[in-house]
A and B are shown apart, each in its own frame.
Chain A
């Protein structure tokens, strides 16, 4: 299934045992608002509609009702205001689940309470340290902080 070029085995070279497939799907957030049963993927160029359907049904056990694909043209950009290069094209797949099912894109990086609290804690500590520093130096006017015995 793989079309990758693996280095030819030389005596003493490491044995390659992992064969990566060409087929992959990447779940992405929808650009245009879609009905709740539609899921958008980026997929490898080689995958056809049938491949996408089989991939989801056989590996992830998802009921797929309809698959539509399109290929988005890669953007072009100028390198150092010189020549123009083009990014790779991307194949998008829109997969329709049964009408009753709903899909919501997961919140991958939730800003948790804990991290917020931890941030506040460190800020408090810094503030406290600064206060201590000021307290220590209150009768040493115009003398730089590093000047001490």
Chain B
């Protein structure tokens, strides 16, 4: 039995063959031995939308460079996205389950580091370091007592701010001591970079949570969406944090557990079904940004250690004995996930294109005296829409309680120095990144030739993309004020049509929604005639744009 081949192919065949040979040949080529059918697609609106989205995700995957991917993510909205803001130091009550849900994190709480760290031998280097650190603690403590900021009378600081000054100094000193004294035994430390107060911003989509009332009402208003009334909605999450110090290396840390273990259903993650605003998260319209504390093109793009502060706990407390513990967990999880997610974005992955290998980082939250340690393994960043239920991978966070490094500093002596804390910290530094394989393998979704915008040869394109990328990540407001419906318009024109004779010129009267304006929906810069090449008057008026 012969089957028909698609019409288009036949037409081409007829065109090419027709002139040379007889009609019988054409008919023979029109048929194949085995029938070839196009795939049967599910034509329901939901499935159609899903295919459309998948095509868009593929489009993002194919974008060549890191910066262009970030611009591409921002393309759907000119005025920015409605983001649920997750700030490092603003931790509302009852936030842990929500945090775990939106980061898909399983917590393993214990009093020690995961067993992976048992293999790292550090005992020989401890005694030398201990003395140095004790000295630094004494010095910083005395310096702190005398310090300028604290003594000034006209300059009153909050308790938390004071603690931050103290802990920052201790962190800088301890980091310096550890880097200096460990680099002879652990040569990988020489090849690491330190950032002081880097800016970390991270964006991803999280799904599975109830729709807001406005969405629900919209769905109820259309006959064909009524059945989806309570379907979950994806929400844009934007994390913003400033660790006091981070350490980076040029290769990633080894994963703690294998990828098959990360799919273990026993690693349960609480499911949070409510709107994030019900637990005190607020929203803001902003362009979405992924900044891991360095710009694309940096050679050391894998974070190993981050130091976070806990002064905010002194400023805001709730009447719940568990609050401090949960707040620290949230800070540890979001600090690690946010940082790793931003790093993953700099490696060419996005919230739509999952990471192909796990990323690991280590986080310390401290005020100089109390230390909590977090080890985080990022296995997936696909947490939106259907992936909430279908994605088998989970991220894992190992956490410890807050442990005292020392009891107090008195009369120039450190009392009750706890060596176990120091050992854990040293193990974080001694944990060696895996220097195997090619750096290319870590960036499968970037083009072979161009990884970052700076690799483009065309100087115009390079400049344009650089400018656009920096504008997006700056999140500076636009020069022109954004669109707004004035209150009198809402009352007298929209809610009650009391002005039928007015000229209809506003967007809401013309069935337009300016909030849906896309990023490229704008006039390119004008080039004055004098600067144009010798072309007809109507040509070359506007500069070229390079939207991905």
Q: Which residues of A contact B (CB under 8 A)?
A: 31-35, 37-38, 63-66, 68, 76, 78, 84, 94, 96, 98-99
CB distance A38 to B491 under 8 Å? Answer: no
CB distance A33 to B280 under 8 Å? Answer: no
Given contacts A63-B319, A68-B280, contact A96 B275 (CB under 8 A): no
Given contacts A31-B213, A76-B495, contact A98 B278 (CB under 8 A): no
- CA A32 to CA B276, docked complex, whole Å: 11
Which residues of the partner chain A approach B278 to less than 8 Å between Cβ atoms?
32-35, 38, 94
CB distance B275 to A66 under 8 Å? Answer: no
CB distance A99 to B496 under 8 Å? Answer: no
Of the A-B pairs whose beta carbons lie under 8 Å apart in the complex, a sample of 17, sorted by A's number, is A32-B212, A32-B213, A33-B274, A33-B275, A35-B278, A35-B279, A37-B94, A65-B93, A65-B318, A65-B320, A66-B92, A66-B93, A76-B496, A78-B498, A84-B491, A96-B93, A99-B94
Given contacts A34-B274, A37-B94, A96-B93, contact A84 B319 (CB under 8 A): no
Report if B210 contacts A (CB, 8 A): yes
Residue ID in chain B nearest A73 by CB atoms? B487
Q: Could you tell me the dominant secondary structure of chain A's interface residues?
A: loop
Which residues of the partner chain A approach B258 to less than 8 Å between Cβ atoms?
none
- Which single member of B92, B213, B274, B496 contacts A84 (CB below 8 Å)? B496
Residue ID in chain A nearest B322 by CB atoms? A99
Of B94, B212, B279, B495, chain A has the most CB atoms within 10 Å of the CB of B94
Which residues of the partner chain B approach A63 to less than 8 Å between Cβ atoms?
319
CB distance A78 to B496 under 8 Å? Answer: yes
- CA A96 to CA B492, docked complex, whole Å: 38
Residue ID in chain B nearest A99 by CB atoms? B94
CB distance B498 to A84 under 8 Å? Answer: yes
Residue ID in chain B nearest A83 by CB atoms? B498
Which residues of the partner chain A approach B273 to less than 8 Å between Cβ atoms?
33
Residue ID in chain A nearest B490 by CB atoms? A76
Q: A78-B498, A84-B491, A84-B496 are in contact. List 12 more A-B contacts (CB 8 A).
A: A32-B212, A32-B277, A33-B273, A35-B279, A66-B92, A66-B94, A76-B495, A84-B492, A96-B93, A96-B94, A99-B93, A99-B322
CB distance B275 to A32 under 8 Å? Answer: yes
- Which single member of B274, B319, B322, B495 contacts A35 (CB below 8 Å)? B274
Give me the 6 closest cross-chain CB pairs, A-B, nearest first: A66-B93, A34-B278, A65-B318, A78-B496, A99-B94, A65-B319
Give B273 Cβ to nearest chain A Cβ, in Å. 7
Given contacts A32-B212, A33-B275, contact A66 B280 (CB under 8 A): yes
Give A36 Cβ to nearest chain B Cβ, in Å. 10
Which residues of the partner chain B approach A34 to less than 8 Å between Cβ atoms?
274, 278
Within 8 A of A (CB), among B487-525: 491-492, 495-496, 498
Residue ID in chain B nearest A75 by CB atoms? B495
- CA A65 to CA B212, docked complex, whole Å: 25
Which residues of the partner chain B approach A84 to less than 8 Å between Cβ atoms?
491-492, 496, 498
Which residues of the partner chain A approach B498 to less than 8 Å between Cβ atoms?
78, 84
Give B466 Cβ to nearest chain A Cβ, in Å. 42
- CA A32 to CA B211, docked complex, whole Å: 9
- CA A35 to CA B279, docked complex, whole Å: 8
Give B57 Cβ to nearest chain A Cβ, in Å. 30
- CA A144 to CA B533, docked complex, whole Å: 104
Which residues of the partner chain A approach B318 to less than 8 Å between Cβ atoms?
65-66
- CA A32 to CA B279, docked complex, whole Å: 12
- CA A98 to CA B326, docked complex, whole Å: 13
CB distance B320 to A99 under 8 Å? Answer: yes
Give B351 Cβ to nearest chain A Cβ, in Å. 25
Which residues of the partner chain B approach A38 to less than 8 Å between Cβ atoms?
278
Give B190 Cβ to nearest chain A Cβ, in Å. 47
- CA A33 to CA B213, docked complex, whole Å: 9
Within 8 A of A (CB), among B441-492: 491-492
Which residues of the partner chain B approach A33 to less than 8 Å between Cβ atoms?
210, 273-275, 278
Which residues of the partner chain A approach B280 to less than 8 Å between Cβ atoms?
66, 68
Residue ID in chain A nearest B323 by CB atoms? A65
- CA A35 to CA B319, docked complex, whole Å: 18
Residue ID in chain B nearest A77 by CB atoms? B496
Give A72 Cβ to nearest chain B Cβ, in Å. 12
Residue ID in chain B nearest A96 by CB atoms? B93
Which residues of the partner chain B approach A66 to less than 8 Å between Cβ atoms?
92-94, 280, 318
- CA A78 to CA B494, docked complex, whole Å: 13
Which residues of the partner chain B approach A78 to less than 8 Å between Cβ atoms?
496, 498
Give A5 Cβ to nearest chain B Cβ, in Å. 30
- CA A65 to CA B327, docked complex, whole Å: 14
Which residues of the partner chain A approach B92 to less than 8 Å between Cβ atoms?
66
Of A64, A65, A99, chain B has the most CB atoms within 10 Å of the CB of A99
- CA A32 to CA B92, docked complex, whole Å: 19
Which residues of the partner chain B approach A32 to less than 8 Å between Cβ atoms?
210, 212-213, 274-275, 277-278
